[in-house]
Amino acid sequence: MPAKSAFTVEEEIDIQNRFQDLLHKCTFVTEEADRIMIRKAFDVANAAHYGMRRKSGEPYMVHPIAVAEIVAFEVGLGTTSITSALLHDVVEDTDYTIEMIRRNFNDKVAYIVDGLTKISDLFDKNTSLQAENFKKMLLTISDDVRVILIKIADRLHNMRTLESLTPAQQIKIASETIYLYAPLAHRLGLYAIKQELEDLSLKYRHPKIYNELVAKIADTEAERCELINRFIDPIRRELEAHHYDFTISGRPKSVYSVYYKMQHKGIPFEEIYDLLAVRIVFQPSDATPEKNQCWDIYSLITNIYTPKYERIRDWVTTPKSNGYEALHVTVMGPGGKWVEVQIRTRRMDEVAEKGFAAHWRYKSLNGLPNEAELDRWLNRIREMLGENNGNAIEFVDDFKVNLLSSEIQVFTPKGQIKILPQKATALDFAYEIHSEVGNTALAAKINHKLMPLNTELHSGDQVEIITSGQKQYQREWLQQVVTPKARNQIKQALSADVGDRIELGRQMLTDRLTALRLKPSSRIIKKLIPAYHVSNKEELYGNIGSGEVSLENLQQVLQKSAPNKFIRYWKLQTVSGQPEADTTVNGAATDRPAPVFRTARCCNPIPGDDVIGYRTPDNEIVIHKTRCPSATHLAANYGNRIVPVRWVSTKILSSLIRLSLRGIDRIGIYHQITGVISEGFNINIRNVHLISHDGIFEGHIDMYIHAASDLESLIESLKTLKGVEEVKRVDIRNGEADADTSMPPSV
């Protein structure tokens, strides 16, 4: 609950002025009854929150007013949503109840506020309260999408004011945002909000990278403005000559989109060719369809500039699943720079900025998008909620994969369209048709070619499933599907055959432990669950009973409890600002036992990397790189267990890392590369895998590095070698390195 202290007269006046400004700007609220309801919501919230302050020290009521402004002007919702936004924290933070909201307002406002109110019940310590909250919210969104739109507005204002929180809270909220809320805003068509959420998340998760990119973008601003003006001038003249009513503007890519492209393509800032984008927004005439007019403007532009045909994106003929419509073309502009041009009507532009909220405004117009796509999406949420087995973390992960990711359109043999998430397989398609088709599937014909069931599908594929008269399902299929519908139907089929498997597995484990002179206990089971990659003890017993899990290595698994040898040579310190802030790996005095630190195998952080810690229920702190996807997932679902940590001091020890290299082949290049590593930096090389073909060399070198600073210096030195075009650090996948990836350096 927010802290309380009396307001000053100036603060009370400021609150009233902020609300009056909100009400004054709501020119679309014309009915007096609606304005009275908004005023009443403010009075109730202001009285309920009186004396409460945010972490920044400002009156708490500033927040609901700001959320209501976002809801009204950035999302584009009406009276009921503005009222609900003003009241959204009243039930959670005060003695006000949902029933009181219902009596003072109406059922709809009460329903929305209830959906926005966090869960206050106590859950099992291993349950993610964040995931439970999100699942509860989605139970409401499936009936009224305004719940999630207001929640996104709430999150946007929280992100705009995140500087007042501790580093641990910033990481938690920023990770939640990039993991769920930014993709959700994108899925609902709120592009401007999605972009701001991404940028703010980057600012707090990777502040150093964010500030560097902001500076680089600012440094190129003058050159960029000059280029955009040169690029726009001939297009403007051509559009004016054809009597279009239009606006044209240039803009840089968002900071996050630049960062994303650098990470996923492994390129530096200077090599991002489409940093520039120009947007044309026009008012179409009634005489010609909008789509035709977009293509007419495309034709005028390509008469001036040469297009890059593989970069044409036609979302006017086939809009995105979230309703986005536009025609994108990338053309070669002045100075040899590629420039992306987005062509939209004003209606398309409003839909692009305000998503489905804008669709409602146009739904009655013939031939224009309506709520059918939104209804389909909400039906899929209801379907997922109905199929979920109660595991909130699994539900949130399924939701992200299946309902926030890009979609593909796949055709049946008769030409019917089936919508599936990206990376869906032919087996997902089979279960999308019917559970019996999935259970009896043998193979698939994809575009008339026989393919295995685990083949990944792509948009436009035509798929026919070949079945048999017998059940074919097997537990391995769970790894070959991505949709919750397919996964749940496979699980149901497998559970029908389970019989005494759980009891058999329980007895087998007991017998094996007895042979090791151990008694079954909750402590042992807790150790075995993560070791055998299962989520609970029933799954563990079932897998043992089915033979999926072998107990031959049980003794080794139970003995594998020591922290990483690597961590024993390094000192880490938590920096959360909590009472344990002085906790270090080598046992400084604290109010609680010193935690055990270990590095995560998924990202293998080395000293000097930006890292965060995840505290397990057993007080073990697992160290992840801040860029690690697993760290983002943990912070998004278990934010209260995230512990900011820092490297404090080191002893001589090296960690295995991999450098990927690419360049122009020449005589002696390999010798020079290994010479810089071994002789120039005295680094121990573990193995070299470089190959040459058609004048190009590429591959990787594994080596032992002391710290991230050494690695950065080495990379810069390698880049200075003639012919070396690209050097970057890449993760070593599990299984490619020895069990212990750290070792003392060679003498």
Active site residues: 92-93
Task: State the Cα torsion 207-208-210-211 to the nearest 10°.
Answer: 110
- Kindly give, in sequence order, each residue whose CB lies less than 8 Å from that of residue 508, ignoring residues fewer than 6 positions away: 544, 545, 551
- Specify the amino acid at residue 407: E
CA distances, 41 to each of 85, 245, 585 (Å): 9, 41, 52
Placement of tokens 């020119």 in the chain: 27
189 phi-psi bin (left φ>0, alpha ψ -120 to 50, beta other): left
CA distance 264 to 280: 29
Is the distance from CB of 659 to CB of 727 less than 8 angstroms?
Answer: yes
- Only one residue has tokens 């193979």, namely 443
Distances (CA, A) of 497 to 115, 208, 475, 493, 600: 39, 54, 11, 7, 37
**Strand boundaries in 513-670, DSSP class E:** 570-574, 596-599, 611-615, 620-625, 642-650, 654-664
Handedness of CA 465, 466, 468, 472 (dihedral sign): negative
Residue in 148, 153, 150 with CA at minimum distance from that of residue 134: 148
For residue 198, report the phi and psi dihedrals to the nearest 5 degrees.
-65, -45
Closest CA to 153 of 65, 212, 44: 65
CA distances from 574 to 68, 289, 519, 642, 649 (A): 38, 61, 36, 10, 13
Please report the sign of the dihedral spanned by the C-alpha atoms of residue 731, residue 734, residue 740, residue 745. negative
Distance CA 193, CA 356 (A): 13
For residues 245 and 349, give the distance between their C-alpha atoms in angstroms, rounded to a whole number. 14
Cα(429)–Cα(422) distance, integer angstroms:
12
